[in-house]
Amino acid sequence: MGLSWMAWTWQTAIFFGVIALLLICMSLWEMKRPGGNPRRGVLGLDTTRGDRLFISLLGSAYINLAWLAVVGPPLWIALLLCVAYAVLVFRYV
């Protein structure tokens, strides 16, 4: 039976591949420069690199859902917004 119950498309595979690649890159970054000491950003929270990755992924999900609700299927601009949002999160949060 395997994973035949899921609607695996090339877009789905890329999505999960990017998530896996982000986790691998974050692990390598932590091994190369350990610590990632918490810092206090604009939200007033102490966040680590992993926290900021989670916040950026969660926010990106909401950006894409809002884009689909308001604009519709072409998500290229939403992707650019997500990348800009992630950069801002890692810089200021």
Whole-Å CA distances, 10 to 14, 16, 42, 79: 6, 10, 37, 17
Q: What stretches of 1-75 show up as alpha helix (H) in DSSP?
A: 10-32, 49-70
Helix or strand (DSSP H, E) at 48:
none
User: So what's the pLDDT on residue 43?
Assistant: 84
CA distance 9 to 66: 22
Helix, coil or strand: residue 39 = strand
User: So what's the pLDDT on residue 64?
Assistant: 93
Domain ranges (residues) in the chain: 1-34, 38-93
Six-digit token pair at 6? 């899921």
Name residues of the chain where pLDDT drops below 70. Answer: 1-3
User: So what's the pLDDT on residue 3?
Assistant: 63
pTM of the prediction? 0.81
